[in-house]
Amino acid sequence: MVFKKGRLIFSKRGVSPLIATVLLIAFAVALGAMVMNLGSLYADAGDGEGIQQPNADCSGVAINIYRIEGREQVFYESSGKDIRITFMIENSGLKQIRGVKAIVVGDSRNVLTKDFSQVVDAASVLREALEYDADAYGEIVDIKFIPLIEVAGTPFPCQKMAINAERLPQAN
C-alpha cells in the first residue's frame, strides 16, 4: 500500500519470499512451544508409561518386595493349569498408599493387570494373591508393581516408583 496525495493506492509489490519464510518459521516455532508447554502439564515426566495429573505428588512414596531370610516374597503355586501368584509388598515410603497395581506379562505378550485397593500405611506390608491363566497369557516373563495414591478421591498410579520382581520361584 502506498499513500499518494491523500489516496490509498495498492502497490503490486508483495512480501519477499525470504521474509515470508522467516515469518512462517517463527509462527511454527511459537505454535510448537505453546503445544509443548501445555503438553508438559499432563505428560509423565518419568518413563512415559502413563499420564500424570498436574497435582499428583508421588514424593514420599516408595515400595519394595518384602524379603524373608533374603528371599523376595513373590512366588507362584501351580495346580494343573491354575496358577496363583502370591506377593508381599512393603510400603517403605513416608506416605500411606491406597493399594498396588500388579502388571504381569506373559511370553505371548499378553498382559494381566489388576488393582489391589487395600490401604497400606507407611512401614506396613500388603500380602495379596492373584489368579493367572497360563493358557491365556503364556509363561510369566515379568511382574511389575506400581504403588497407588489417592488423587481427587480416585486411585492414581505413581509410575516412577514402580518395582519389578527379580524372579518368580515356585512355592515350597
Residue 169 has pLDDT above 50, yes or no: yes
What is the CATH number that goes with domain 63-164?
2.60.40
Mean pLDDT on 123-137: 92
Mean pLDDT on 159-169: 89
Q: How far apart are CA 124 and CA 157, in angstroms?
A: 19
Residue 9 has pLDDT above 80, yes or no: no
pLDDT of 51 reads 52
pTM (2 decimals)? Answer: 0.68
Residue 82 has pLDDT above 60, yes or no: yes
Q: What is the pLDDT of residues 30-59, one digit of tens each?
A: 999 888 877 766 654 444 545 544 457 899
Phi, psi of 39 (to 5 degrees): -65, -30
Domain limits of the chain? 2-40, 63-164
Residue 105 CB: number of other CB atoms within 10 A? 17
Mean pLDDT on 66-90: 90
User: 123-141 burial, b for 16+ CB within 10 Å, e for fewer?
Assistant: eeebeeebebebeebeebe
Residue 98 has pLDDT above 60, yes or no: yes
Residue 44 CB: number of other CB atoms within 10 A? 14
Confidence of residue 127 (pLDDT cuts 50, 70, 90): very high
